[in-house]
Amino acid sequence: MTSGGWALAALLAGVVRVTLFPFKLVRRGALYVYHTLVQIKRTVVRVVSQATRNTINGIKATPGAIWRVPIRFYKKLAAVRTWTMDKAAYLEAESAKWKGLFNLIKAPYKLLLSLGLTPSMATSLLVAGSVATTGVVVNETVLAGRSFSAGDPGVYNAPIDTPVFYEEKFNTLRLDLGATSVGLVEISDISLGTAYTGSALPSGQTNVVIVGGLPAVVDPAFTETFLEVGTLVIDRWRCETMTITNSQAHNLIIRGNASDGQSLAPVAGTPRDRGINGGNRASDMITSGGYYDQLKITSASSGVNGKVDVLRISNVYSKGGGCLIDRVKAGTIEVTLNEIGGDTNLSTKAFTVATSVIYQSFTNDSNVEVSMAVPAIVSMTQ
């Protein structure tokens, strides 16, 4: 082909390219739009699919989440509770240690007061350091670890758990209550008097149990005292005799007692209902088990009534003397399920509630008379 022919062919090719260029542009635009729409479709499908899956998963998870909410809340609450109780237990333990220290410090002072000294005289003697017996008593009691809670005999000034007086031949459990109120005094499972081998009552004593205040005849300078109690519970005692006298109770409950003759003659009156408060009062005094020649719970300070909200004495086995409840002012006195007697004679009254006992409400239920022999001696030594 000649050069003129090549030039003509090139010209024609250029004309064709120029002529077809718009169509190429349209085709490319159409393909771009198509691919863009396909991409948008895929994106929409993916988003909708993911949203649908999330929605379905959320619906599936909702019941479980609702179920776990209270459990998670309880676990958090329990953690707070545990932390609080741990701190409370720690503070209580520390408080008990400080209280024990203060009681130890006060023991010599309490002893001197119990011996009849005035507060000023007791303070002077302690400051002067001239009371040798105080050191001996503290050494024989506090340092030896004797305590009311352990059931050791001795003289205790409530609410101090260590005795203010003790010696080997002294086997009485004596608790002196005063103006400091005690929430609970509980004594259970004890043997008294001559109920066990080798035992004897204290010299000159005729009662194995004495609960209440003291009369003025104890000492011309002594002012009569009463034991003020919210609730007095006398439960499951074995006594040769039981006498309740010179007392008041808003509710007097005598139920289920068996006695070798009985005389229940309380008199109706208007004693007030009673409970013992006292704010930050003394710690509870609880002991269980023991062998004593006598149990004595009294208001021993002249003109000062003892105060205890609940006094519960249960499962007492005694022999050789009577059980006396005298000069008690109570909201409730419960005398239940006791066995009283020992002379097999129903004409003598082993169980006596005297006319000097005044009540507002009186429950007298299922009390029977039964002939009884003297209580047996248990074959145990103290």
Domain shared by 243 and 137, yes or no: no
Domain shared by 50 and 191, yes or no: no
pTM value? 0.63
Domain shared by 119 and 195, yes or no: no
User: Does some domain include residue 15?
Assistant: no
Domain shared by 337 and 239, yes or no: yes
pLDDT at residue 130, rounded to an integer? 40
How many whole angstroms separate alpha carbon 287 and alpha carbon 352?
28
Helices (H), ranges, the chain = 3-114, 119-128, 132-141
How many whole angstroms separate alpha carbon 242 and alpha carbon 350?
6
Range of the domain at 28: 23-55
Domain shared by 32 and 143, yes or no: no
User: Does some domain include residue 165?
Assistant: no
Domain shared by 113 and 235, yes or no: no
pLDDT at residue 135, rounded to an integer? 40
pLDDT at residue 124, rounded to an integer? 54
User: Does some domain include residue 116?
Assistant: yes
User: Does some domain include residue 210?
Assistant: yes
pLDDT at residue 62, rounded to an integer? 72
| Burial zone of 190 (CB within 10 Å; 0-12 exposed, 13-18 middle, 19+ buried) | buried
Domain shared by 194 and 338, yes or no: yes
Number of structural domains, the chain? 3
User: Does some domain include residue 166?
Assistant: no
pLDDT at residue 230, rounded to an integer? 94
Q: How many alpha carbons lie under 13 Å from residue 88 in its C-beta half-sphere?
A: 6
Domain shared by 197 and 292, yes or no: yes
Residue 274 in contact with residue 229, Cβ under 8 Å?
yes
User: pLDDT in tens for each of the 382 residues of the chain?
Assistant: 666 677 777 777 777 676 766 777 777 777 887 888 888 888 888 888 888 888 887 777 777 667 677 778 888 888 888 888 888 888 777 777 776 666 656 556 555 555 444 444 455 555 555 433 444 444 443 434 788 999 999 999 888 888 988 887 889 999 999 888 899 999 999 999 988 888 888 888 999 999 999 998 767 788 999 999 999 999 999 999 999 999 999 999 999 999 999 999 999 999 999 988 866 666 789 999 999 999 999 998 889 999 999 999 999 999 999 999 999 999 999 999 999 999 888 889 999 999 999 999 999 999 999 999 988 887 654 4
User: Would you put residue 154 in left (φ > 0), alpha (ψ -120 to 50) or beta?
Assistant: left
Domain shared by 230 and 356, yes or no: yes
